[in-house]
Chains A and B, each alone.
Chain A
Amino acid sequence: MGRKLLLEHVNVPGIETYEVYRKNGGYRSVEKALKTMSPQNVVEEVQASGLRGRGGAGFPTGMKWSFLAKPEGVPRYLLCNADESEPGTFKDRYLMEKIPHLLVEGMITSSYALGCNQAYIYIRGEYMWVLEIVEKAIAEAYANGWLGKNILGSGYDLDLSIAPGGGAYICGEETALIESLEGKRGNPRIKPPFPAVKGLWGCPTVVNNVETIAAVVPIVNDGGAEYAKIGIGKSTGTKLISACGNLVKPGVYELDLGVSVEEFIYSDEWCGGIANGKKLKACVPGGSSVPILPANLVCKTAEGTDRLMTYESLAEGGFASGSMLGSGGFIVFDEDQCIVRNTWNFARFYAHESCGQCSPCREGTGWMEKVLHRLEYGHGNLRDIDLLAEINKKIEGNTICPLGDAAAWPVAAAIRHFREEFEWHVTNPDEAQKRNFGIASAHVPLV
Chain B
Amino acid sequence: MSIKITNGNATDEVAPQFSAERMVEVQRIINQYPEGKHKSALMRILHMAEEDFGGWLSVPTMNYVAGILNIQPIEVYEVATFYTMFNIEKPGKVVLEVCRTGPCMLVGSDNIIDHLKLQLGVEVGGTSADGMFTLKTAECLGACGYGPMLQCGKHYHEHLTTEKVDALLDAFRKEHSTSSNN
A residues contacting B by CB (< 8 A) are 75, 84-90, 93, 118, 120, 124-129, 159, 161, 163-169, 180-186, 201, 242-246, 250-252, 284, 288, 329, 331, 333, 337, 341-342, 345-346, 349, 352-353, 355
Contacts and interface: CB of A to CB of B under 8 A. Distances in A.
Nearest to B101: A87
B39 interface: yes
A397 to B, nearest CB: 24
Interface stretch (B16-24, B138-146, B174-182): B138-146
A182 to B, nearest CB: 6
Nearest to A92: B142
Contacts of A180: 43
B105 A90 contact: no
Interface stretch (B4-12, B78-86, B118-126, B127-135): B78-86
B167 interface: no
Interface in B53-90: 71, 75, 78-79, 82-86
Contacts of A181: 40
A174 to B, nearest CB: 16
A176 B156 CA distance: 26
A90 B144 contact: yes
Interface string B75-113: 100110011111000000000000011110111000000
B79 A128 contact: no
Contacts of B39: 182-184
Given A244-B145, A246-B107, A166 B102 contact: no
Contact of B79 (A184, A329, A346): A184
B43 A89 contact: no
Contacts of B79: 166, 183-185
Interface in B10-35: 32, 34
Contacts of A120: 32
Contacts of B71: 183
B84 A168 contact: yes
Contact of A85 (B42, B75, B78, B140): B140
Contacts of A333: 106
